[in-house]
């Protein structure tokens, strides 16, 4: 028995895997190997598969410095995210889906964090000025987002998870939060609810503004009273949301419905309502959205719209790649429009 790792049969003793190694093993020219690994369109799918399988088998890793010297690219896409997080946010799923969208491409995803107490422009400027990535993915966009204005001015490839006031001019992938707000008010009105408390994202985020606009429009159209929780948002702690909801219900006993813009806020809001003796599904209804199946396990009466973060992440990856490789093409712009199949009003089979 020996603990010494065994060399791949294709490698020579002491050999470090290179493009030439793959060329020797596959019998393909070095240039063909390089183009196959870079997903060149003129290389057949079978050849790409053969080259990648060989590269995986011998643990080939490209020399980043060499790649940058030859192509001017880093083969890196930077996802810039805030360090603010909670246990049920969808950041982890978004990361996984973006990374999945970059599989079998030369690109790697690197997370560039920034802290709530620092200027969000700092990491963006750092990536652009140091050339440490070929494209940037942003989320939590603002209507007049200075990061987007800067990237557009610089002509640096980017895509946003969320819209801005300049969405017509840049790539983005988003969930239609305005429609989500409308759907929620419509569903609550069908249940005979008259006064809805809205727990929304911060209004300076584009999606927060969209939820507020959607709930306002639908409430006015259907004749519902709409109250917006003022002192906390979906970014607040569970404790703060629960406390604020409890206070709102005590001050406005006419509230008979709650619309929440996040899973965490929904859990907190239900906890706050139950703490003052309200019974979900009897005294009040709750409408929310989620990226993973959780809320109906927590409370089966919650009215839920699903947000497919996995599909969004794959779209963000595709949009970033196009922004890098085909900047002259029309930017990828995708808006996922939610639907809600209300179980209470589902059609009865004949």
Mean pLDDT of 117-133: 92
What is the value of pTM for the model shown?
Answer: 0.80
Tell me the average pLDDT of the chain: 90
Residue 201 scores a pLDDT above 60: yes
pLDDT tens digits, 262-313? 999 999 999 999 999 999 999 999 999 998 899 999 999 999 999 999 999 9
- What is the reported pLDDT for 4? 39
- What is the reported pLDDT for 1? 41
Banded model confidence at residue 87, pLDDT cuts 50, 70, 90: very low
Q: What are the counts of helices (DSSP H) followed by strands (DSSP E) for the chain?
A: 13, 11
Residue 9 vs residue 6, higher pLDDT? 9
The span from the CA of 215 to the CA of 209, in Å, is 10
CB-hemisphere CA count at 13 Å for 39?
Answer: 9
Q: Which residues contact 110 (CB under 8 A, 6 or more apart)?
A: 76, 77, 78, 79, 132, 133
Q: Is 245 exposed, middle or buried (0-12, 13-18, 19+ CB in 10 A)?
A: buried
Residue 126 scores a pLDDT above 80: yes
Helices (H), the chain: 19-26, 30-37, 45-57, 64-71, 91-101, 121-130, 146-154, 177-190, 206-222, 238-251, 263-275, 295-298, 309-325
CB-hemisphere CA count at 13 Å for 156?
Answer: 26
Return the residue matching tokens 């030859």. Answer: 70
pLDDT tens digits, 35-56? 888 788 899 999 999 998 888 8
Residue 89 vs residue 27, higher pLDDT? 27
Residue 96 scores a pLDDT above 80: yes
């Amino acid at each position: 028995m020996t603990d010494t790792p065994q060399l791949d049969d294709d490698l020579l003793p002491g050999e470090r895997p290179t493009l030439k190694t793959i060329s020797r093993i596959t019998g393909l020219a070095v240039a063909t190997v390089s183009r196959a690994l870079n997903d060149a369109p003129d290389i057949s799918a079978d050849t790409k598969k053969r080259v990648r399988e060989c590269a995986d088998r011998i643990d080939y890793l490209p020399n980043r410095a060499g790649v940058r010297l030859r192509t001017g690219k880093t083969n890196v896409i930077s996802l810039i995210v805030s360090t603010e997080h909670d246990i049920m946010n969808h950041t982890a799923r978004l990361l996984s889906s973006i990374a999945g969208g970059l599989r079998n491409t030369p690109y790697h995803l690197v997370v560039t964090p920034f802290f709530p107490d620092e200027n969000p422009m700092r990491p963006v400027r750092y990536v652009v000025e140091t050339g440490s990535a070929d494209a940037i993915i942003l989320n939590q966009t603002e209507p007049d987002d200075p990061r987007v204005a800067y990237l557009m001015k610089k002509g640096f490839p980017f895509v946003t998870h969320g819209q801005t006031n300049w969405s017509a001019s840049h790539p983005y992938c988003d969930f239609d939060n305005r429609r989500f707000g409308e759907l929620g008010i419509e569903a609550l009105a069908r249940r005979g609810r008259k006064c809805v408390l809205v727990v929304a994202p911060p209004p300076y985020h584009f999606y927060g503004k969209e939820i507020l606009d959607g709930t306002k429009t639908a409430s006015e159209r259907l004749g519902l009273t709409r109250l917006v929780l003022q002192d906390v948002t979906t970014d607040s702690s569970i404790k703060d949301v629960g406390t604020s909801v409890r206070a709102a219900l005590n001050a406005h006993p006419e509230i008979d419905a709650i619309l929440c813009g996040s899973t965490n806020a929904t859990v907190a809001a239900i906890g706050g309502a139950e703490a003052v003796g309200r019974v979900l599904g009897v005294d009040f209804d709750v409408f929310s959205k989620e990226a993973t199946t959780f809320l109906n396990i927590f409370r089966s009466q919650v009215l839920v719209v699903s947000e497919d973060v996995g599909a969004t992440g794959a779209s963000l990856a595709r949009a970033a790649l196009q922004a890098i490789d085909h900047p002259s093409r029309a930017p990828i712009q995708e808006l996922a429009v939610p639907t809600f199949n209300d179980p209470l009003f589902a059609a009865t089979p004949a």
